[in-house]
Every structure is written in C-alpha cells, then in structure tokens.
Amino acid sequence: MVNVKNIVVIGVGLMGNGIAQISLMAGYNTTLVDISQEVIDKAAASIEGGLKKLESKGVLNAAENLARMKTSLDLASAVKDADLIIEAVVEDMDVKKKLFKICDENAPPHAVIASNTSTMSITEMASATKREDKCIGIHFFNPAPLMRLVEVIAGEKSSEESMEIGVNVSKSLPCLRGDRYVAKVLKDRPGFIVNRLNAPGGIYMNYLLDTCLEKGIPFESLDADFGSRGPMSPLVLSDYTGIDTGFHVRNYYADTLHEDFRPGKVITKMFKEGKHGRKSGQGFYDWTKGRPQPDFSKIEKAGLVNPGVFLAISLNEGCRILEEGIASGWKIIDDANVAGMNAPGPFEYGIKNWEGLVKLLEEFSEKMGREYLKPCDLFRSGKFVDMK
C-alpha cells in the first residue's frame, strides 16, 4: 500500500482550493496546479486566509501548513513526485482525459489519479492512461472544508488498493462541520450516489417550471410553494449554482440515462438568453445588488408543488441505485445524502410508507408523461426494505 505524502490538486478554483486547503490541514505536501497564475494566486491567498482564520481560533499553526504548499503552472513537472493526483477542472470529458494522459505519462508508476467529477465516467477518463487500475473518483461536495461527504468511486478497472488509498486519504481530510463521511461508490454510473439520487427531481422541476410558463404564473410563486426550508430556496439555489451548469448536467443525464432528463422550455430559454443566475447578474432573480432574499410571506403561492412526489421520485431513484449495485445498502444512501446535501435521505421515511408512494408516483408519472419516473421493479416490490 502506497504511503501518501504528496498530493497534487489540478484546477484550483472554488472547489480545488478547498480540496488543497484540507489536504494541507491533514499534513500532506500539497501542490496547486492551474493554467492561470491569477487563479493560483487567488487560491493561495484564499487558503492562507482560511488557515489564518483557523489559527486565530487555536485550531492549527498556519505557517506550518503553508510551508507544505507549492504552486505550479506546469502540470508535467508538478506530478513528478506525486502519490495522489486530484483533478478539479471544468466538467468536460475531453479536458479531463487530456489531463489524465499527461499525469499518466509524467507521474511515478505508483501514483493514483483521481477525478473530482460530480457525474462523469471514471472508466472513460481512465481509458486515456496506461494505469486504469490506478484511476478512481474522489468526489467532494462544495465547499470541501465544510461539507462532510466524499464519494470514492470505482471505475471498471480500479483496483481494491487504489480504492483503499482513496478511502483512507478521504477519511484523513478534516471537516470543519462534523465528522468526515466517506461513501464507497461500487459502480461507475452517472451521478454516483447523491447527485444521482437527487437528479430525477429535476424532471419534476422542469415540469413545474414549464407549467408556470404555460399558465403565466410568476416563478417566485413556485419558489414560494417551497418556502425557506434551507439556506436558499430552490430557484435562488439554481441561480447560485448556475442555470448553465444545470443545463449541461441535465443534458448529460439525458445522454447517459434517459431522454426525460433533457432541460425543459424554461431552462433552455434562460440558457440561450444568457440568464445564468448569479454569475450573469440575472436568472430567476436579479443578482446585480447581491444575493436575493425573497420574502415568501408576501408572495402568493403557485399551489403546484406536491412534496410527496419529490419524496416518491427520490425513493424510486434510491431503489434504482440499489438495483444497479452502485451502493451496498439503503443506509449508505441516506447517510450520504445527509452528509452531502444537509437533507435526510428518502429511505428512513419511505420504508414505512412505500406502498402509498408507489401509487402516488404511478399517478404523477402518467400525468407528467415521464417514462423514467415510473416506479422501478424494486420500488414496486418493496423488497428494498430489507436491503439496509
């Protein structure tokens, strides 16, 4: 088993610099790599600021951690002594495969190459290398220092040793809010566990948004149906993460899982008009004066949302995850959702009420005309109850 001492993080935007920071905090020598010196400087300053803030609280010695940090614009030379490489660049398969190839050609033979992709195939990335057994996924949730979940994903040819290295390193990385939770993803399938579990809710959301468009209902009224259950309402969150990001992710699922995931009329129109949310200044809300704070007590509700449908969709997808052998039991799926989304998973409630939820989803999938949302065999049978 490789004793990991040197970690290289490629792509040090928001996600990458978070991964680099917790790698430093865990005691690893960490190299930040990017194609832009400006991005590297910004990341290094952010990490220094984060570490000094923690030092002021007596958590660590900032100088000791920063002494282990290096930066580089040259990927080939940066990976020469790497034990573990984690790429956190744009979600573009061609870009990722090029990086994997460069890493494979320049890193030591023992080095494990990992992708932080949230949905894409580890197996396909690994095919660009001559070390497919040493390629895995290590998927963090944003921001990495605060979100507890890390998914460690096996590609078709990933070795047990590579997976163990990924799990052990992930467990060693500190989390500033609670204990780190590492979920092993046993099959390389789109979305892995948590994003896959929540992805089909987007099919229902497309339906709701397009219904608002057809009936002339303001989008804020749909948002008011959900209210302020978390830090951000669903449409504020969509703006925050990026309408363009959601558009691309939905298309990826449509290409790899089912056509029903394809973006609806509203999301497609917003994407084409450049209304991408926070980054463009305009999405469902106006972001030009900072983050919107809609007062839902003063906004009339659309009366369209059935929360039970979201639960039934999520439970059905959880059953698909079990059917496909992506996770070993439903408790891992529930626990991973809590750690990655700060929201309960569907099974704890669903195992007591599954028959009613099957019926509800049968009715709604028919009403929406969405084939993918029909209850799968495992959900319909109830046999998942014993697959804890």
Annotated catalytic, 151? Answer: yes
User: What are the percentages of helix, strand and coil residues in the chain, rounded to 5?
Assistant: 50, 10, 35
CA distance 325 to 361: 23
CA distance 151 to 67: 29
152 beta partners? 138, 184
Going by C-alpha positions, the residue among 295, 308, 315 that lies closest to residue 380 is 315
Annotated catalytic, 139? Answer: yes
Cα angle, residue 174 at apex, residues 169 and 180 outer, rounded to 5°: 80
Choose, from 29, 139, 198, 337, the residue flagged as catalytic.
Answer: 139
CB 73, CB 40: distance < 8 Å: yes
Report how far apart, in Å, the C-alpha atoms of 208 and of each of 40, 137, 244, 265 are.
Answer: 41, 33, 19, 11
Choose, from 115, 118, 238, 316, the residue flagged as catalytic.
Answer: 118
Annotated catalytic, 160? Answer: no
Length of the chain as a residue count: 388
Choose, from 116, 195, 206, 337, the residue flagged as catalytic.
Answer: 195
Annotated catalytic, 55? Answer: no
Choose, from 87, 132, 151, 220, the residue flagged as catalytic.
Answer: 151
CB 51, CB 60: distance < 8 Å: yes
Which residues are identified as catalytic? 118, 139, 151, 195
